[in-house]
Amino acid sequence: MVEFAFVAPMLTGIIAFFLPLTAGRPLLVLTGAVHLALSIMLWALRPAAFFPAYFAVTPEGLLSLLVISLLFFLISIYTTAYLKAADIRSENIFTGSMLLFLSTMTMVTLSEHIMVMWIAIEATTLASAPLIYTHRSAASLEATWKYVLICSVGIALALLGSVFITLSMDVGGVNVPVAFSALTDVANQLDPLWLKTGFVFILVGYGTKMGLAPMHTWLPDAHSEAPSPASALLSGVLLNCAYLGIFKTNKIMHAAGLGDFSGTILMTFGLVSILAAATFILKQTEYKRLLAYSSIENMGIIAFGTGIGGLGTYGAVICLIHHSLIKSSLFLCSGNILLGFGDRLIAATGQMARRMPKTFVAFFGGFAGISGFPPFGIFIGEFFIIMAAFRTGHHLAVGLFVLSLCVIFAGFARHVMKISFDDVDATTQIEEKSIMVWPQYALLTTSLVLCFWIPETLYQTIVQAVANMGGGF
Amino acid sequence: MIHPVDTLLALVLLSVLISFGSSRLPTLIKALAFQGVVVSIVPFFMGHELTAGGVVFTLATMVIRGLGIPLCIHLAIKKVAIKREVEPIIGYNASLLAGLLLIVAAAFVSPKFNLPQTSVHALLLPTAITLIVAGMFLLMARRNAIAMVLGYIMMENGIYVVGTSFSLRGHHIVEFGILLDVLAGVMIMAIILQNIKQTFDDVDTAHLRTLKE
């Protein structure tokens, strides 16, 4: 039953490759719906897997899985309309890759064995590479090449890190399955030196995929060259999958009493990412790259929060969920803007408030949400992280953190104001299909609702996920 | 007496030096294919107990690393490979010197890790370190996209040596999955290579520098 969640989209994905060009669209939505139903069932029943050595349902995995499922379903509805409007030549490859991408990401959330986790994360790179190359231009070719090469090399380092962790078992004389939960249980018997080495390699490896600076260079290119629904998936859920690998390893570190070591490194990478995003966001000329740098910022925030531990980890998980919901809606809006204005440059846009009012509402709402304004969840997450940082006495770090957030807000706001209100010659209304805006509304509303009311089961799952890092209240 | 594993690993180290010194892509691909075969038969001589599944797995690795992956790259770049040099950023002589220094440094630091296996097979850890760092070196020191892919494969070979020799908990299914991932990765890279060739009529990554801040 557990394995079915990733086998189903894998099968439909393979089928989609061989279907006629446009026949994949209903299949996309159908698979999305079935996958969402499966995820909810997994959440409610929490069954055991057929291969318990390799796969398991864990609280942190379930959180990511539900986010993936919900996002994919809404994005697939948007995609059907987007594919009609946009000019994409090999549509069957696009839909097939989308489904395989969903399958591999689901596999990441359900994997329990350290090496299976690696296999699944590498598979996400391979499944998403054709998505970035969809437009077949020289620039998209360059973006795909960078993405595949940088991520593969990065993830190869994570493989080395995983091998080091098995080595820490050998040196420590521990004999348990090489699974995250089993290792967490016996963490204090593992050899600390090799465990630390393994963690550093895994952090650098999966951090590359997560978009942590200075290994982030592939991210803006890939996100800007991919078609918008694919960018929404890349930013909204792929980054979370890589984070999950780091999160689970960090759990072992905490159980082994090395939480301070891993926390310091995570905080450093997080801060560097936020600072890098703040530097580059000011001078952006393309709106999709702008959103990509904002993703780097948010991944930095999440890594920073996880590094602080305790309440900070809770805040990081909140940020993770809301970043997925809000950022994917922003990327879908960027698809509408691209179709409407026909250009990726910020300079080519303007007067969106008048010319595309429906998209404007979603885009501006998403901007407010991602910058951390109160009615949206990122505000709460960041608030918890800042509180936790003060409690643990990281005054300098939190100072830099807040300063960078202000700079990023200022830079982001300037560009968004330009897109929304700047005067342009043309004032004609651009047609907006309602099917291409309501998925964004649905995503933003979910974020809004989750800010005021977290269902008890969701709250319990988050607390279970962060429990061993001293999370919760 | 010199252990057969050390003899094999010495061959691997030689293949690293050959790949650093060669200017032609076909030579580089052959060196990597040879390296793949040698690296994948190391487990036979390690003295671990091999099950029937283990033998099949090792043979499959040998076929994929020694034949599948090099063939895949060779087919992807057929025309370019005959004509083109590897376009070094760091020259061949300097590369060779760097390779020699790397091997010496790896041999120097290896005993400090204090691993039980290193006392029996003296070259095991130095070779693994050399392969991983040498792969990264090729990635950075060559502008030719194919040479970069070959660098990635060399790195994977190094990780394979670490994985099969130091860790005793090889689940063959998992290792096979890793192998398939690498194969699929190389295939995707080969497809991109073909497209780079068609778009720019060359595989020099200097063409791929338009996207930047």
Per residue in B111-141, pLDDT tens? 887 777 766 788 888 999 999 999 999 999 9
Q: Could you tell me the pLDDT band of residue A235, with boundaries at 50, 70 and 90?
A: very high
| Residue A115 to residue B185, Cβ atoms within 8 A | no
Tokens of residue A462, six digits: 């988050």
Residues 6+ apart with CB under 8 A from B52: none
Any domain includes B212: no
CA distance A118 to chain B (A): 8
Q: Quick one: what percent of chain B has pLDDT higher than 70?
A: 92
> Is residue B81 over pLDDT 70?
no
Look at A253-257, A306-310, A416-420, B44-48 and tell me which has the smallest mean pLDDT. B44-48
- Rounded to a whole number of angstroms, the distance from the CA of B91 to the nearest CA of chain A is 23
Chain A residue closest in CA terms to B136: A153
For A62, other C-beta atoms within 10 Å of its C-beta total 21
- Give one DSSP letter per residue of A30-47, joined into a string: HHHHHHHHHHHHHHHH-P
**Confidence class of residue A350 from pLDDT cuts 50, 70 and 90?**
confident
Copy the structure tokens of residue B75: 């087919």
Q: Do B185 and A163 touch (CB under 8 A)?
A: no
Residues 6+ apart with CB under 8 A from A423: A350, A351
Q: Which of A18-32, A207-221, B49-63 has the lowest mean pLDDT?
A: B49-63
ipTM for the predicted complex comes to: 0.91
CA A462, CA A362: separation in Å to the nearest integer?
A: 28
Q: Is residue B166 part of a domain?
A: yes
Residue A320 in contact with partner chain B when CB distance is under 8 A: no
- The fraction of chain B above a pLDDT of 90, given in percent, is 28
How many structural domains does chain B have? 1
Please tell me the distance from the alpha carbon of residue B175 to that of residue A115, in angstroms, as a whole number: 8
Tell me whether residue B41 is in a domain.
yes
The residues near B38 (Cβ < 8 Å, ≥ 6 apart) are B8, B11, B12, B15
In-domain check, residue B192: yes
Most A-contacting residue of B174, B210, B212 (CB-CB within 10 A), to test interface: B174
Task: Report yes or no: A129 at the B interface, CB cutoff 8 Å.
Answer: yes
Q: Rounded mean pLDDT of chain B?
A: 84
Do residues A87 and A128 lie in contact, with contact meaning Cβ atoms separated by under 8 Å?
A: no
On whether the pTM is more than 0.90, the answer is yes
Which residues, 6+ apart, have CB-to-CB distance to A27 below 8 Å? Answer: A12, A15, A16, A19, A95, A99
Query: Running DSSP on this structure, what letter comes out for residue A22?
Result: G
> Would you report the helix, strand and coil content of chain A in percent, each value rounded to 5?
80, 0, 20
Query: Are B196 and A119 a contacting pair at CB < 8 A?
Result: no
Cβ separation of B185 and A148 shorter than 8 Å? yes
Q: What angle do CA A255, A260, A263 make, to 5 degrees?
A: 95
pLDDT greater than 50 at residue B70:
yes
Rounded percentage of chain A residues whose pLDDT exceeds 90: 78
Of A213, A2, A244, A8, nearest to A103 by C-alpha is A8
* 3-class secondary-structure state, position A349: coil
**Phi, psi dihedrals of residue A179, rounded to the nearest 5°:** -115, 150
Partner A contacted by B124 (CB < 8 A) = no
Are B211 and A118 a contacting pair at CB < 8 A? no
Q: Could you give the residue ranges of the DSSP H alpha helices within B46-144?
A: 52-63, 69-76, 78-83, 92-109, 124-141
Question: Could A148 and B189 be called an inter-chain contact, meaning their C-beta atoms sit closer than 8 Å?
Answer: yes
| Residue A205 φ/ψ region, left for φ over 0, alpha for ψ in the -120 to 50 degree band, beta for the rest | alpha
A240 burial level (CB within 10 Å; 0-12, 13-18, 19+):
buried
| Reported confidence tier of residue A410, pLDDT bands at 50, 70, 90 | very high
User: What Cα–Cα distance (Å) separates residue A153 from each residue in A140, B153, B182?
Assistant: 20, 10, 11
Tell me if A282 sits within 8 A of A406, measured CB to CB: no
Are A149 and B152 a contacting pair at CB < 8 A?
yes
Domain that holds residue B9: 4-112+119-207
**CA–CA distance, A358 with A340 (Å, rounded to integer):** 12
Residue A115 forms contact with B (CB below 8 Å): yes
Write down the pLDDT at residue B172.
Answer: 73
Could A153 and B168 be called an inter-chain contact, meaning their C-beta atoms sit closer than 8 Å? no
Chain B residue numbers with beta carbons less than 8 Å from the beta carbon of A139 are 210-211
**Closest residue in A to B178 (Cα–Cα):** A119
B176 in any annotated domain: yes
Mutation for testing the A interface, residue in B72, B200, B213 having most A CBs under 10 Å: B213
Residues of A in contact with B195 (CB under 8 A): 133, 136, 141
Q: What is the pLDDT of residue A472?
A: 47
**Which positions 46-65 of B are in contact with A (Cβ < 8 Å)?**
none
Q: Does residue B162 form part of some domain?
A: yes
